[in-house]
Amino acid sequence: MFRKIIIFTSLLILACSVSAQDAGVAFYADSDLPMILPRSTWDNSPSLNALLQWLPDNNLSPSDWQPVERIVVHYTATPNNDPVSAIARIQSIYRFHAVTNGWGDIGYNYLIDQQGRIYEGRFGGNGVRAAHAYNSKQKNNYNYGTIGISFLGIYDAVDINPAMYESASRLVGWLSATNNLDPLDLNKKSLIWNSDQLAFVSNFSGPVVLGHADIDKVKTDPGIVSLNKIRQSAAVYKEKYKNYIYKSSDSPRVYKISSGNRQAFETVGDYAASGGSYSLLAPVSQNQLNLFSESRFLRYADGSLLRAAGQSSVYLVESGKLRTFNVSAKEFAQLGFNFDLVREVDPNELKKYSLGAEIKFASSSRLITDGNKVYLTEKGKKRWVTSGGLFKILGYKWSKVSKINSAEILSFLDGDPVLYPDKTLIREKNSPAVYLIKGGKKYEFVSAQSFEQMGYKWNKIIVGENNELLVYAYGGIAKHADGVLLRASDSPNVYLVKNGDLESIDGATFKKSIGRNPFLSRPQAQLRFRLSRPASLRQFRQFPAQLLFFPQRLRQALPRK
């Protein structure tokens, strides 16, 4: 269920005093912290609430919450002399992003208006995946692990005003302090999620605080805005904020925010008793505190390589657990891993995972079993031999199988299952469907007639275990060899199999081919090829005696023009 929006009419009435200095910039006077107006400031009606159709999911892999590594600055490309209010403009952007673009919510995490007011944007809080930075050419999704801040307006020719600079500096400074970022770092390396490879594999090196144009060259935002000016000021604020602890006006609880995570203590005394120290107990709104969470689990995708900052141990994320490597550098590479893809994370992040089995390198060309399954070891991994029938076909000997304990079996990474050789004919025990194995895929025979006319023998079919073929990708139907002529039984059209596709041929080509190519009529379902040219009905009516016939029920399988 979507959460209900509560309109906080008394948001700015806090126990702390709020300054109206700096050209209208709102901040907490006793701490210099930026004041962030809640989402409910603009998402303030049932009709607007209903537009929220995207909610972050912690159970996805990768999770929609990720540790923050960068801050990306944008502009909204809306009028600088806007005839509507900032709130109305944000509502318009929300409708455009959520409905027109189909993103289900506003794309930016924060927005700053021309009076320097800061608004909470995307639902989900700190570290949530937004929709502000995707490089479509490279298929790199920078929305994971970044915060998008956008200035209302367009700034290719004019600069933002001092109030906007001040608010941006405070906001970037506070987000840097709470996420352990260095806003002055111009060469931070990180791995970006690639939507083609479905993994954090794209290397990127650049500033922690950067513009949209820095990650996508077709973009121009934030225009002439001086990011260096924001970086310098933000670094000063970060130093000021970094040892703050926080409290709201309606609770004695205090909070420590570090590395994007919030820790709660019942009182200041409890915090001190835990060994904590601080420079200032800063009052802020509960809404601003709720941008962070104690329980939000920042999960990395299976296959991610992680290393705690300042430590040498590398971990593999597998099935939601961390597995340590007990291998040499050479073996690490032989297992198919790359040290350049190791992601450095805060040590506290690793504490959220349970530990899986240690990873060891399996010596090659051994047959091993734990008494349940048999494996072949190869390139440091174990490969499952899926059945006794396959074991026999491959010529393995049971006397060569070594029994080892389950713990050692678990320490070896899984490789691809051992497959049947190409041209194997196989069906499972409880299924009549017959398949041809080729290139690691299974190809289905759609009729007994096609099986026989392709020259296959029934006594060559292997009966495999039930579900054994689940490890094979479906390749489609078993097709005829190139050069074979085909015709459906209820159609005069004739086709030549060429490069795995059907090519409609003319009369002259047919006459040349008929003396040297086998000519087979096929059920329509077997003609599941791509049709490259249309055929003329008249061209083939003079050759009816040359054709064989197949059931009409399979007509719909013919490719369309």
**What is the pTM assigned to this prediction?**
0.64
DSSP state of 412: B
Contacts of 158 (CB under 8 A, 6+ apart): 80, 224
Lowest-confidence pick of 4-18, 183-197, 209-223, 539-553: 539-553
Cα dihedral sign, 76-80-82-87: positive
Helices (H), 96-226: 162-178, 212-215
Lowest-confidence pick of 373-387, 403-417, 508-522: 508-522
- What's the rounded Cα separation, in Å, for the pair 144 and 188? 16
Between 545 and 301, name the one with better pLDDT: 301
Does residue 301 have a pLDDT over 80? no
Both structure tokens of 462: 């292997």
Burial track 42-64 (b if 16+ CB lie within 10 A, e otherwise): bbbeeebeebbebebeeeeebbb
Does residue 302 have a pLDDT over 90? no
**What was the pLDDT predicted at 15?**
34
Q: How far is CA 507 from CA 196, 488, 498, in A?
A: 45, 17, 17
Tell me what percent of the residues of the chain surpass a pLDDT of 70.
Answer: 84
Q: What angle do CA 107, 108, 109 make, to 5 degrees?
A: 125
Summarised one tens digit per residue, pLDDT across range 36-63 is: 999 999 998 888 988 999 999 888 888 8
**What was the pLDDT predicted at 11?**
39
Does residue 149 have a pLDDT over 60? yes
Half-sphere exposure of 467 (CA within 13 A, CB side): 0
Summarised one tens digit per residue, pLDDT across range 207-234 is: 999 999 999 999 999 999 999 999 999 9
Does residue 110 have a pLDDT over 90? yes
How much is the mean pLDDT over the chain? 84
Summarised one tens digit per residue, pLDDT across range 253-281 is: 999 999 898 999 999 999 999 999 999 99
- What's the rounded Cα separation, in Å, for the pair 318 and 316? 6
For the CA atoms of 498, 501, 507, 513, what is the dihedral angle to 10 degrees?
A: 30
* Residue 163 and residue 100 in contact, taking contact as beta carbons nearer than 8 Å: no
Considering only CA atoms, which of 64, 350, 340, 65 is closest in space to residue 202? 340
**What was the pLDDT predicted at 165?**
97
**What was the pLDDT predicted at 507?**
57
CATH code of the region 18-242: 3.40.80.10
Considering only CA atoms, which of 516, 507, 455 is closest in space to residue 484? 516
**What was the pLDDT predicted at 344?**
84
DSSP state of 96: I
Q: How far is CA 30 from CA 15, 18, 33, 378, in A?
A: 11, 8, 8, 64
- What's the rounded Cα separation, in Å, for the pair 142 and 200? 10
- What's the rounded Cα separation, in Å, for the pair 226 and 74? 12
Considering only CA atoms, which of 540, 433, 435 is closest in space to residue 488? 540
**What was the pLDDT predicted at 277?**
92
* Residue 385 and residue 414 in contact, taking contact as beta carbons nearer than 8 Å: no
How large is the C-alpha radius of gyration of the chain?
Answer: 32
